[in-house]
Amino acid sequence: MTSDAPHAPHPDTLDLAADLRAALGSLVRTLRDNDDLPPNQAAVLGLLVRDERSYTVAELADRRRVRHQSMARTVALMTESGLVAQQPHPTDGRKQLIAATEAGRAALLDQRARREHHIATAIETRLSTEERAQLRASVELLQRLS
């Protein structure tokens, strides 16, 4: 008899998963402490920059899994700050397309660079050469998990 239920992970694996989640969460919170961009704005800019295209507010809301009204507020704040620009949709005059501006792209890249600098400094000051090699191998393993 086969079961359609997914395989239950071993308790040791669940403990490892919990420890990993907590460690990554702590690292992310530490990095966010020095961020200039609010997380929701950074996420929108990240999407616009990574995909190198424009989106409507509805598409952004769907991609970020938030309500349309919440995304509309985020986009309005970002537009006021000069991080994104809105332009008319080419085929639907009722819609606006949202694109990252050069200032938005620069703000996102600056924030990423500050985070990477923080991590690099911590690596150099807190880890031995052997630990750095372990961390490198761990990064490759984390990439395989995603």
Q: Vertex 38, ends 32 and 43: CA angle to 5°?
A: 90
CA torsion sign, 18 to 23 to 24 to 25?
positive
Helix runs in the chain, H state only:
11-32, 39-51, 57-64, 68-80, 102-126, 129-145
User: Which pLDDT score, from 0 to 100, does residue 7 have?
Assistant: 85
User: Which pLDDT score, from 0 to 100, does residue 22 have?
Assistant: 96
* Below-70 pLDDT ranges, the chain: 1-5
User: Which pLDDT score, from 0 to 100, does residue 2 have?
Assistant: 54
User: Which pLDDT score, from 0 to 100, does residue 93 have?
Assistant: 84
Bridge partners, residue 96, by sequence? 88
User: Which pLDDT score, from 0 to 100, does residue 62 have?
Assistant: 97
User: Which pLDDT score, from 0 to 100, does residue 127 have?
Assistant: 97
Bridge partners, residue 84, by sequence? 100
